Amino acid sequence: MGIMNTNRTLPSNLMVFELRRDLTLFQRFRQNIEPIMEMYGLSEEEKQAFRDENIKKLSELGVHPYFLPQISRIFHGSAYNHNNSEAAQVYARNMVDGADQEG
């Protein structure tokens, strides 16, 4: 994975890009992710990864690395984002621990 493996044409990347720029869209997404994922044409694989908050899977599909901790913040909030915050811990369980298990 990593920035060099970003899939620039992946629908998830456009969706996350716009979510952080459009608070109305973001709030609709927070209420119900399904219609927004449909609107952006995500594949079933991408959709399931969002439903599961499976950040590692999204990484493997080519979501831009920078978006991965942001996705945990979309679901768990951005304020006071220290290492023990919920958003950072969700990220850690998905990506760092997961990476360790494979490594």
Partner 1 sequence: MAQLVSTIALSHAPGLTGWLDKAPKEEQDSLVNGFSELGRILRDTRPDVIIGVANDHVLNLEFQNTPDFCVGTSDKWEGPAEWFKDWVAVPHYEVAGNKQVADTLVNAAGREGIRFAFRDKLLFDDNWSVPLYYLTPDYDIPLVPIHMNCVVPPLPQPEYCYRVGQTIAKIVRDELPDDMRVAFMATGGLSHDPGGPKYFDVDEKFDRWFLGLLEEGDPEKVLREATIDKMVAAGDGGTSELLAWLVTMGAVGDRPAKTVCYEPAVELRCGMGCVYWDMS
Q: Which of 1, 28, 54, 75 binds partner 1 (CB under 8 A)?
A: 1
Closest CA to 49 of 8, 2, 83, 16: 16
Shortest Cβ 57–partner 1 spacing (Å): 14
15 binds partner 1 (CB under 8 A): no
Rounded distance between C-alpha atoms, residue 74 and residue 55, angstroms: 12
Distances (CA, A) of 42 to 5, 28, 48, 79: 18, 16, 10, 28
Q: Compare residues 1 and 47 and give the one whose CB is closer to partner 1.
A: 1
Q: Report the chain's C-alpha Rg in angstroms.
A: 13
Q: Sign of the C-alpha dihedral, residues 91, 93, 94, 95?
A: positive
Q: Which of residues 25-84 bind partner 1 (CB under 8 A)?
A: 26, 59, 62, 64-69, 73, 77-83
Per CB under 8 A, does 92 bind partner 1? yes
Binding site for partner 1 (CB under 8 A): 1-4, 6-9, 13-14, 17, 19-21, 23, 26, 59, 62, 64-69, 73, 77-83, 85, 91-92, 95-96, 99, 103
